Structure 1
Amino acid sequence: MSLKKLVWRLTPPLTHRLIRDVHFVLKLLPNYAYDFRRFLLYSGINKSRGLAGEHAAQVVLAYHQIEKGLSYAEPRPGFGKEVVERLLRAMGRFVALHGWVAPATVALRVLYEYVAFNEAAGLDMTALRARLAELAGSAEQAQAMAECASGGALPVRRSELEARRVEGFADFFASRHSVRQFAGGAVTPADVAAAVAIAQKTPSVCNRQAWRVHAFQPSDQMQQLMAIQGGSRGFGERAGALLVVTCDLACFVEAGERYQAWIDGGMFSMSLCLAFHSMGFGTCCLAWSKERQADKALRTAMPLPVGEQVIMFMAVGTLPESFNVAVSTRRALGDMLTFH
């Protein structure tokens, strides 16, 4: 008998667990230290590093908040003034360093739609128009660049989406939008079960299928969870269901799989969005990029098993006959694809 087997036989189970814990702590720590260093050096979290990706991200984060507001059923005139100020600062910094290219041009288009919406509501937008002209060099130049870009809110009709869903996968995929104007109809437990059953075909690492779905119907608890998430104000109250997608961490057994929950859970979540789309429902993905305080608050508010990692929330609802969606302009293909 080997020494290892002899020690294992002579020691109690509690010692076995301690030995394993120490072994995996020593294995995980260098990997997390490696991840920590890479995120610290190369992410946009430290704005003083002047990374182009961070400059672009700040523009996109701000303009998308505005176009989301424009896609609500009843946007409040004058909404988002603080976001507009943040966007103008981000655009100024981006343009000074990188010129008038996307996403600055997209942001300009979004701001012109914002101006048009507020002027139609009777607000004086002279000051903002002047700032856009100053930023672009002239009012004519600003208007021309805005007209050549895409962004803002897009009107769609439910009948159009229904037609595109059957035209083939490219049209099916392109016709799916994040919806923030639900009709308020019911999304039944049978509807949710059918969509989850469709999404179960999602690939996962070694077919472990670690994802879980916690479904909530309209209730005070559903509203409490949405408040903790914080991204559905102004439309979440008309959702027919709220889903919390999680992954069971116990399914991942190697140090190299420390982030596999987010990969598998994210793929499943996209499949779930498309499943609801195929059934004629609208969805809005609600991010769970939170710090520990929010995670603790969520676990207090709902009976979530301790070993499940929250991936995202998803609001699901019925579609009105016509509604607005955020354009959510896609980046150029050349920015995304590299052949080697």
Structure 2
Amino acid sequence: MAQREGNVGEPRAGNQSQVARGGALFTRLLASTMKICLILVLFLNGTSSVSVMLNHPISLPCGHGEKVVWRKVIPINANVAECQNEKCVVNESFRQRFAVMHEKNYTLFLKSAKYNDQGQYVCSRDGIDKHFKLEVVVPINLTAVESENITLPCYADTQSNVRDVTWLHDEQKILHYSTNGGTNPSNGYKDRVLLTEDGFRDGDISLTIMDVQKTDEGLYRCLVHDETAKGYPHAYMLHVKENPINAGGNQTEGNTNEKRIRIGLIFTLLLIIPFFVFLLCCKKTTTPVAESQSTTDSEPIQESDQKQSTRPFYSGGNTHVLQNLGMISHNDNFNNETTDSIETSM
């Protein structure tokens, strides 16, 4: 009997296991169905797709209403913020990086987007819903040299129903390719952007930018199938640096201008310096002459100056030099007396 009871119990356990597995499968199917239905509802209501780079800010505008509620519905269902009578309260789990301001149409502000912030957001105001699909982009950084070419690699499965490729630059469509219409670059990119030749057949939808300019900096994204699917890699952040040749040319031009300025200054100094030297020489030459003339005309000769003068005189056959005028007068008297005494004796 015990053996029979055991035999009977084994099928019961197996049935319970099968029921549990069936319940889990049903739950998964139900969840998937709900998500599909929700996506369809969002699609029918009109959903705005918004992209933001990782760690960058983003804002989702809503509109005025007496009561405004922000919710995140995919991949989770949670209230982000509620506003009533111009007072907004942000849920604690979103408070660190989210904010809502009634002064700006109850816009939802995200200070620094993280990867888990992507998903579906709904703003409900007075019975009107507004849907947003937020995508957080993690781009690959690339650096290009100005005036040169660069290729942004991207790949996608183009074997099935994919018939087109779109490249975006900062949300602006710069190139659209379709198997029916060929390649259509946007204004400003004509003859500057192209896809890999015959690459679409092999799944290579890489973008080549020719003659890179400073304005080409920014976010580039690769999309296929009417922009509903992503290529891989999906996004690039392009940085453009100055071409060393152009920089060298500018530097050479700057050096040439400096040399011209220096040569001009030197030439000016060479003209000015001789002129000042000439003026100084003329001043030194004219000053002593003027002083000597003024001294001769206005000041009499002093007696001490007369005594210091010397001149020759003749006495018989010898020449004597007198040191001063006083000696000259004394010798004249002596000669006269000698002549008188000689005449008397005769």
Instruction: State the TM-score, normalized to the length of structure 2.
Output: 0.23
- Larger RCO, structure (CA 8 Å, separation 6 or more): 1
Richer in strand (by share): 2
Instruction: State the TM-score, normalized to the length of structure 1.
Output: 0.24
Q: Bigger radius of gyration, 1 or 2?
A: 2
